[in-house]
Amino acid sequence: MKIERLAIIGVGLIGGSLARALKARGMVGEIVGCGRGEENLKKAVELGVIDRYTHDVGEAVEGADMIFLAVPLSAMRDTFAAMKGHIAENAVITDGGSAKGSVIEDCTSVFGEVLPNFVPGHPIAGTENSGVEASFAELYNDRRIILTPVYQTDEAAIARVQAMWRYCGAEVTRMLVVDHDRILAATSHLPHMLAFALVDMLSRLGDTEDIFRYAAGGFRDFTRIASSNPAMWRDICIANSDAVSSLVDSYADEMKELASVIRSRDGDRLLALFNNAKQARDRYVDGLNQQAEPLPTE
């Protein structure tokens, strides 16, 4: 199951860490990197993360038996188009996009079908840093990888992608595309929207200086994710537009209701709401703390 030649399109934190993990375990022959930034790719070679690089996607995937797409969601379609005609017979393709429906649509729009050897995936891992210099072999240790194959997807291809991630120490689960996009909208995309919107709103109040000066540590924890990559989050919102907009809308309704409960000083309803939230959070979230996980961004 060793990978002979791995092509990584987008050599940043996600792609670079996959390369390092597979190299560390001797599970890969050659790694070809592809991207736009010359500096970053040179650095990747210097660091031994990749063996060589090209700026041409077609050239990069030529002869590769495993292709990993770690490009922004907004670049997926063009990347598929650039691969067309260069994918080897025995190649398996997978990706790291934070939304899955849109990537599958991009694949379909380029190839007229979801390629049977394409296994859509999403590693639930990341840090606050980006670029190949931020990559490290342990990023995927004990992290979850969600694969969202469709009915056309070849089982052997799924097995190879699954094996690749397991070499990296990750736990691999399968999910329906719609479930992935809905669940991630709730647990990741919506919280990011709340944090971005909160900081944006506060930054437009009159006394911003004072507001941020008196912000306590809880505020910093709460808004940490508002420091995430804006372009990446624009892409995610567009890619998962239906699920995210519908949750943001429901949340707005919940907030309107809450405002009126606070305005009417209805202590019983406030207590019921806060109790329910605390119980749910303590029950589900703290249970997960048994798994040690590094700082995530998505």
What part of residues 149-188 is at the interface with its own copies (CB under 8 A)?
Answer: 179, 183-184, 186-188
| Smaller CB separation from its own copies, 156 or 277 | 277
Among positive and negative, which fits the CA dihedral 67, 63, 108, 72? positive
Nearest to 8 by CA among 150, 17, 221: 17
Residues 252-281 that bind its own copies (CB under 8 A): 252-256, 258-260, 262-263, 265, 267, 270-271, 273-278, 280-281
Distance in Å from the first CA to the final CA of the chain:
29
Q: How far is the CB of 28 from its own copies (least distance, A)?
A: 26
- Is 118 within 8 Å of 93 (Cβ atoms)? yes
Q: Around Cβ 243, how many Cβ atoms within 10 Å?
A: 21
Q: Does 48 bind its own copies (CB under 8 A)?
A: no
Residues in the interface with its own copies (CB under 8 A) total 96
| Smaller CB separation from its own copies, 116 or 294 | 294
> What is the layout of strands, in order, in the sheet containing 3-9?
52-54, 28-34, 3-9, 66-69, 92-95, 118-119
Q: Which stretch binds its own copies (CB under 8 A): 39-47, 50-58, 112-120, 219-227?
A: 219-227
Count, residues in the chain: 298
Q: How far is the CB of 139 from its own copies (least distance, A)?
A: 13
Kindly give, in sequence order, each residue whose CB lies less than 8 Å from that of residue 249, ignoring residues fewer than 6 positions away: none
Q: Does 140 bind its own copies (CB under 8 A)?
A: no
Q: How far is the CB of 79 from its own copies (least distance, A)?
A: 18
How many CA atoms lie less than 13 Å away from 22 in the CB half-sphere?
28
Q: Does 142 bind its own copies (CB under 8 A)?
A: no
Residues 106-125 that bind its own copies (CB under 8 A): 124
Q: How far is the CB of 37 from its own copies (least distance, A)?
A: 20
Q: How far is the CB of 264 from its own copies (least distance, A)?
A: 8
